[in-house]
Structures are given as structure tokens and as C-alpha cells.
Amino acid sequence: MNTDQNALASEEQKLLACIHCGLCLEACPTYVITGNENDGPRGRLYLMRAVAEGRLEDTSSAFQTHIDRCLGCRACEQVCPAGVEYGQLLESSREVLQHAQPKSDMANRMLQLVLRHIWLSPARLRIFFGASRLFRNLGLARLLLKSRLAGLISPRAEFALALLESSRPAFRNRGTPSQPDQRGEDVLLFAGCVGEGLFARVNRATKRVLRANNFNVSTPKDQVCCGALHAHAGDLEGARELARKNIVAFDSDAPIVTNAGGCGAMLMTYGHLFANDKDLAGQAAKFSARVRDVSQQLETSGMRTAPSSGEDYVTYDTSCHLLYGQCAGDASERMLRTASGNKFIALNGTERCCGAAGIYNLMQPDMSQKVLNEKLAHIRETRAGILATGNPGCQMHIGAGASLAGMSLRVCHPIELVDQAYEHSGLYKNSHKEAQN
Ligand code: SF4
Ligand code: SF4
């Protein structure tokens, strides 16, 4: 057994917790699609255990194929009577795989290069997102998608363009300036790399809504990416490098507020990431305990309500990481319902992943599309014109899928609808007056 296998071998007690009951199978989107035991949590746990015990090579194609096909949605954890910590076992498996994968695997090498040389460098990441925004805002992604060239590009490249295009604002934003802070609790906003790079409007809306509910919001300037992409790709050292910087940047006792389910779930795992680091374990655990979704933070103050400002019917899809990682899916839906009133239509299958799963949609396009098709079918049934979801990855993925499928659907973050409702009802003006008094 080599050193890399030890990442999984050291988790043996967690692997042994599985009692093989199979209650998780129907909750697993990939098992439901293929019907293959190895595409379900129980089969994947068998494979992990075989690798941990040295009965299966970590380079085996079965291990790689079925671990790569896992969405990491953690729906299986919720239904498991034995409390198997599947998400943590998956991260260890991906760390093993990252070292075991042949150097000739171009897609994996490209991914590791991007994660190492762009995502770990805030300056390069700013340039990357600046260029992406320019490409999007000049309409080049849209032009390429509509031009004859669309037939010449690969389906994967076409989907990547549609992802970028769907990060555009769903609404015209009048850009009400954020009001001055009032007396109230201090909170720190985690802006996120994709969040600040392509969805800065969502961060601005988050600040406006928090301030209108009397929170003093600040955005620590030395914060970096949460490390979720690194952790999902098996680069736990890269994830730790970023996590250390965030722990320093957010050094205070104030709540850490996020508006992205993926980031929030990752920030909440810092405690586990440093569990064996005697210098950082305590600090990392305290950091994770301070993390909450914006909807959870607003509920602590009894969120101000405002009537809906739009005519369209609204539906809501919970991001898996918000639902299973942060356990904030209900709070986020309640927040949205306050802003959409009787225009809210419940969506079937919100407990199921949409197929985005970080960059799963680009690495496993076929399976991702199958998972997405089910989600789009449920969205069609609602006949809603707007879908809100609390994670930029899901927002882009559902938006891209809907647009390529010819659906007329605007996709946004729930906080954008709350922000619009506040603006429409004059609540910001009132906040301003109160602040001046
Ligand atoms: S994380 Fe999701 S896709 Fe992976 S085994 Fe669990 S339910 Fe299935
Ligand atoms: S529900 Fe839990 S204990 Fe049962 S097979 Fe799935 S992971 Fe194992």
C-alpha cells in the first residue's frame, strides 16, 4: 500500500460504519440512472474499502470510473441510518485518485494546472474572471452560441459557453447604493471567487438586504477562494493552502455569511480539513462553526418582509451543498417565499442534484446531462418563469441547460428577489431615512 492509499486507509473506521442496508440507493441520482451498484453509495464504499485494505489497486479503472461519476451531492448521507460520513470519504478517495491517475490523463492534468496556477493565485484569478466577464459582456459567448460556428464546436465547449452566458443578470438592476450600516450585529461576507468574479451583483444585493435588516456588513479584503474545487478534485493540500488564508482573513468572532451553497459547505469543513493539525485544529473548527447562509443570518433578526415586485411565478431549487452540506435549504426557501408571496410554486425533486456539482458538468458531461434533464422536466411542470437557487454553479448549470433546451426561464439567486422586493416597496428609502436619523 503506498502513502496515497493511506488517505483512505486512515478513514477505515468511517468505512466500516456502513451496514450495507442499501437505504441510500434510491436517493442517489447516479444509481437511479444507471442501476449499477457501483454507481451507488454502497458500491462506492465497497470500492473505497477494497482500496483501503489493499485488495484493489488505486489505479483500477473500476475505482476511478465510479468515484469520478459520483456527484458528491451527499444526498446519501441524509438517509443513512448508520451515519456514514460519505462526503469525507469521497474527498479522501479523490485525493488517492489524484495521485494514482496516469500522467497521460490530459483532462486531469489540465484541471490540476488550472487549480494550482490560477485558482491559488488571487491576482491571476482576478485576470481570469476579468477576461471571462469581458468575453460575456461583449456578447461573444452569445454570438458564438447563435452563430453557425456553434455546429463546429464540441458539445462540451458549447455547454461551457452557455454556462458563461447564463451568469448574466436575469433582471435589469437599478443599482440602489448600499445604505450606511446601522447599529446592529457585525457580520463578515464571504464573497467567493466565482461569486465576486461573475456574480458581484448577488454580493451587492446580499449586503443591501443584510444592511436593511440592521446588520453591519464588511467584506474582509484578504479572503480567497474557499477551496471547494480543489477538495472536489482531490487536491486537499491546495484546499488547505486557501483555507489557512481565509482563517487569517476572517480572524474575529463575527458570523461568516455566504450566499453560495458550495462555498458555505466547504467553509464548514475546515474543521475536518485541519482535524489532525495540532496548531490549527481549534481555530479551524471555530471558523467552521461561524459559517451560515445569508438566509439563516436573516432569520436570526426576524427578517423584514416586503411584497413581491414581479409578475412572474417563481420556483426554487435547493443547491445540494446548501441542503445537505449547510442544512440551510429550508431557511433559504423561507426567505424566498417572503419575497415572492403567492407567486411561489413548489418544485418537485428539489432534494435531487441538478448535475452541476462544481465542474462535474464539464468532466462528466453525459451523466451530468441526464441528471439535468430530470431537473428541467420538473421545472417545466411548474410553468414558472423564474427559478431561484442559492449557488452560482447551479444557477449557471440550470440556466445553460434551460437555454440550450429552448426554455424561457430566468435563473437568479433568491436574495436578488428579496432585494428587488425591498427596493420596490421603498424599504431601502426607509432604511436610509432611519440611518440618517
Ligand atoms: S454523493 Fe450523491 S452521487 Fe455520490 S453516492 Fe452519494 S448520493 Fe450518489
Ligand atoms: S444507507 Fe448508509 S449504511 Fe446503508 S448502505 Fe448506504 S451508506 Fe451503507
Same domain, 282 and 324: no
pLDDT value, residue 290: 98
pLDDT value, residue 433: 45
Q: Which domain holds residue 194?
A: 186-299
Does residue 108 lie within any of the structural domains?
A: no
Ligand 2 contact, 43 CB (< 6 A): no
Same domain, 349 and 416: yes
Does residue 214 lie within any of the structural domains?
A: yes
Does residue 278 lie within any of the structural domains?
A: yes
pLDDT value, residue 250: 98
Does residue 125 lie within any of the structural domains?
A: no
- For ligand 1, atom 5, the nearest C-alpha belongs to 41
pLDDT value, residue 435: 39
Boundary-marking domain end, from 243, 274, 299: 299
CB 198, CB 131: distance < 8 Å: no
Ligand 1 contact, 29 CB (< 6 A): yes
- Residue 22 is part of a domain; what is its CATH number? 1.10.1060.10
* Structural domains of the chain, count: 3
Interhelix angle 427-436/200-212, rounded to 10 degrees, is: 60
How far does residue 232's CA lie from ligand 2's centre (Å)? Answer: 22
Does residue 149 lie within any of the structural domains?
A: no
Same domain, 287 and 330: no
Same domain, 346 and 420: yes
Ligand nearest to the CA of 36: 1
Ligand nearest to the CA of 320: 1
Per-10-residue mean pLDDT, the chain, length 437: 64 94 97 97 97 93 95 96 95 90 74 92 95 95 82 86 94 65 87 96 96 95 96 93 98 97 96 94 97 96 84 92 90 89 91 93 94 97 96 96 95 94 83 43
Does residue 150 lie within any of the structural domains?
A: no
pLDDT value, residue 90: 95
Interhelix angle 61-68/41-52, rounded to 10 degrees, is: 140
- For ligand 1, atom 2, the nearest C-alpha belongs to 73
Instruction: Give the nearest ligand 1 atom to 74 CA.
Output: 1
pLDDT value, residue 430: 57
Same domain, 279 and 341: no
Same domain, 342 and 261: no
Ligand 1 contact, 28 CB (< 6 A): yes
Boundary-marking domain end, from 299, 323, 345: 299
Same domain, 95 and 9: yes
Burial label, 33 (beta-carbon count in 10 A; 0-12, 13-18, 19+)? middle
Does residue 431 lie within any of the structural domains?
A: no
Instruction: Give the nearest ligand 2 atom to 20 CA.
Output: 5
pLDDT value, residue 108: 79
Burial label, 253 (beta-carbon count in 10 A; 0-12, 13-18, 19+)? exposed
